[in-house]
Structure 1
């Protein structure tokens, strides 16, 4: 009998989802997910932030003190799935933003 029978796509998100599954994360329960959306500058970041908030997301804009890069951080409670970054990509692309990863806190 196979211990981990759930199938995940063979890409970066699929690998992370597989790792979370192996660690015992319950995919039937909503999880607190942090998303990172990279933006080229403050003005673009504010536009992305507004678009994400208008879509009902809880987000904030921050600039890294060392690299001076701008990032929108979004905090979402959701069911984990492979299309995890798709909506954020759609909302941020018109402002030259792009999803730059996501994470889940695991006990």
Structure 2
């Protein structure tokens, strides 16, 4: 399997090498960070109302004090779809002073 030579491609290649079946649906977790809880709250409300990404969890990192919104999406891990979703989430987060901090899946 060939993967693009960017961060998402590298993650997918590593997952493939570890034996993750990239042809089936997984829960992908996207991490969006905010300095202020109010901004995180606004983002979580907007995203949780979106049919594309209705599952969110919010927490404060005990080490950094940054507020993290975890957006979980059920999907087949596809490079273009992941990149598009990251871009979409950031387009909502950026005006609220938030930024993407990557994605991953739980090991099965």
TM-score (norm 1): 0.84
Residues paired across the two proteins, number: 102
Which of 17, 38, 43 aligns to 2:38? It is 43
* Greater Rg over alpha carbons, structure: 1
Task: Specify the alignment match of 1:72 in structure 2.
Answer: 69
Residues 31-72 of structure 1 show CA distances to partners (whole Å, capped at 9, x for unaligned) of 111111011211110111012101132002211223211110
* Residue of structure 2 equivalent to 1:3: none
Q: Equivalent of 2:48, from 46, 53, 57?
A: 53
Is the CA contact 1:38–1:97 (under 8 Å) kept in the aligned structure 2?
Answer: yes
Q: Which has the higher helix share?
A: 2
Structure 2 match to 1:10: 5
Q: Counterpart of 1:101? A: 102
CA distance in structure 1 between the aligned counterparts of 2:68 and 2:94, rounded to whole angstroms: 14
For 1:27 and 1:66, the matched residues in 2 are separated by 33
Deviation beyond 6 Å, 4+ runs, structure 1: none
Query: Does the residue aligned with 1:60 lie in a helix, a strand or coil?
Result: strand
| 1:56-96 deviation digits (Å, cap 9, x = unpaired) | 32002211223211110122211112241222222212212
Aligned CA-pair RMSD: 1.5
Gaps of 5+ in 2: none
Q: 1:66 to 1:105 in 2, by over 3 A?
A: closer
